[in-house]
Amino acid sequence: MATDLIFELLAVVGALIGTYVKMSTEISKLQSRIITLEQSKDEISEMLKTLHKDLGEIKLLLARKQLDT
């Protein structure tokens, strides 16, 4: 009976260790995805700022062209 208890405890401890390792890997993957998304968010923000600036210039050019005609 004592050996059965030892095997059951070993199985539970093994399952806990396996779960911990699996969760640690998942957390690492999610952290790397978050870092990637934050970097791409910054790039997109810069691109949108540039686009906004360029659209403003286009509006000015169109307004000047209408004044000339």
Three-class SS of the chain: CHHHHHHHHHHHHHHHHHHHHHHHHHHHHHHHHHHHHHHHHHHHHHHHHHHHHHHHHHHHHHHHHHHHC
pLDDT in tens, 11-48: 999 999 999 999 999 999 999 999 999 888 888 999 99
| Per-residue CA distances from 16 to 10, 29, 40 (Å) | 10, 20, 36
Whether 69 has a pLDDT exceeding 80, the answer reads no
Residue boundaries of the structural domains of the chain: 1-69
